[in-house]
Every structure is written in C-alpha cells, then in structure tokens.
Amino acid sequence: MSEAALSRLKERFGAAILETSSFLGDDTAVVDAARWKEIALFLRDDSKLSFDMPIDLCGVDYPERLPRMEVVLHVYSTSLRHRLRMKARVGDDEMNGAEIDSLVPVWSGVEWLERETYDMSGVTFRGHPDLRRILMYPEFEGHPLRKDYAANRTQPLIPYRTEEEAGVPLEKLAPFGPDEGMSFGRRPHLPHSEN
C-alpha cells in the first residue's frame, strides 16, 4: 500500500518529490525541504493516505554530501495500516542552513523528537514551540551525533545549579535503590541449595 502512497505523492507534488524507493518494503520519499510541512499535511489529511501517527524523527549526517544533513520522518496510518519514510536534506558542509519547518502543528507528538534532533544533530526546526536541548545540558558544546564531533572531546564542567537557579526542588538521589536498576550487578551471592 505504501508504494501507492509514493505514487500519490509524485502525482500531487511532482518535482518536489526528489526521489522514491521501495527497498525491502521500506517505502521512502526524499522531498524538497521547502515543501516538507506542506507534504506532511497532505500525508496526514489525504483520505487515501491518512498517516495519523508519527513513529520517529531524526537527523542523519552525511558530511561528504551536500546538503549534508538528512532529516528523516517515519509515519504510520493506524486505519490503513501502512507506513512511509519521508526525508529532506538541509545544511551545507558547515551546517549553515540546516533548518526545516517544524511538524508540531501537523503532529503534536513530534515535539520532543524535533528537540532531540536539534540537540543531537544541530537541525533547527522553524516554528517549534520550545526548541532547546532535551538530552544534553544547556552549556553542552556541539552536537554529538554529527560525524565531525570528536568522540574524545572534553565538555566544560558545569557546577550543580542551586534550587533558586533551577526554579524547582533539586532532591538529588542516587541513581538506583538497592532493589532497582540492573539487579544482576547487585545480587548477593547465595549458595545453591540441593533439593
């Protein structure tokens, strides 16, 4: 069914659908980044497509290619039971212009996915209601999922914030209690009983 979705996209958007593929059942459309949001609205609203559930959104870095960053969206139709991958390419070799419209107005569930992609890959989502880091701390420098990020890079050490600075209580607890977490690492050694 998703191959039919690819045909429908090509019919409706023409040259804005840059490439399509259906390798091993993974139906993919590479779209013009300028029409990203418009195409997403069509995927959601067209009754023959009805993609009502975003599954994932991420960035993939190809530093040897221009545009360098690929924004990848996976969507699913719960009523028609088909899925589709949509990609758009943004950013030059220095990641200038790595911007694309936010899809939060289309599917509110992508809000945190876009924040993660911004945080880890450096893609800016225009119109996002709260675009800030979600996994790294605010002072973190760089974007760890970009291929040019040095794996051995040392980040600045940031002192703990006070409760006044954070604006919330900071009840710091150990990561796990004695009965939580990876229990195989904390099990007391018990002798085997012979029954």
Note whether residue 183 is domain-resident: no
CB 145 within 8 A of CB 63: no
Q: In this model, does residue 177 exceed pLDDT 70?
A: no
Q: Which CATH number fits the domain that encloses residue 126?
A: 3.30.460.80
Percent of the chain with pLDDT over 90: 68
Note whether residue 71 is domain-resident: yes
Domain range for residue 113? Answer: 2-166
Q: How confident is the model at residue 155 (pLDDT cuts 50, 70, 90)?
A: confident
What does the DSSP assignment read for the chain? -HHHHHHHHHHHHGGGEEEEEEETTEEEEEE-GGGHHHHHHHHHH-TTT---EEEEEEEEE-TTSSS-EEEEEEEEETTTTEEEEEEEEE--TT-TT-EEE--TTT-GGGHHHHHHHHHHH--EEET-TT-S-SSS-TT--S-TTSTTS-TTPPPPP-PPPPHHHHTS------S--TTSS-GGGTPPP-PPP--
Note whether residue 184 is domain-resident: no
Note whether residue 185 is domain-resident: no
When the pLDDT of each residue in the chain is averaged and rounded to a whole number, the result is 88
Which tens digits make up the pLDDT trace of 79-90? 999 999 999 999
List all residues 6 or more positions away from 146 whose beta carbon is below 8 Å from its beta carbon. Answer: 61, 63, 95, 121, 122
pLDDT at 139: 85
pLDDT at 182: 53
d(CA 6, CA 49): 10
pTM above 0.85, yes or no: no
Note whether residue 181 is domain-resident: no
pLDDT at 186: 46
pLDDT at 176: 56
Note whether residue 188 is domain-resident: no
Do you find a cis peptide bond into 67, omega within 30 degrees of 0?
A: yes
Q: In this model, does residue 41 exceed pLDDT 70?
A: yes
Note whether residue 173 is domain-resident: no
Which tens digits make up the pLDDT trace of 63-109? 999 999 999 999 999 999 999 999 999 999 899 999 999 999 999 99
Number of compact structural domains in the chain: 1
Note whether residue 192 is domain-resident: no
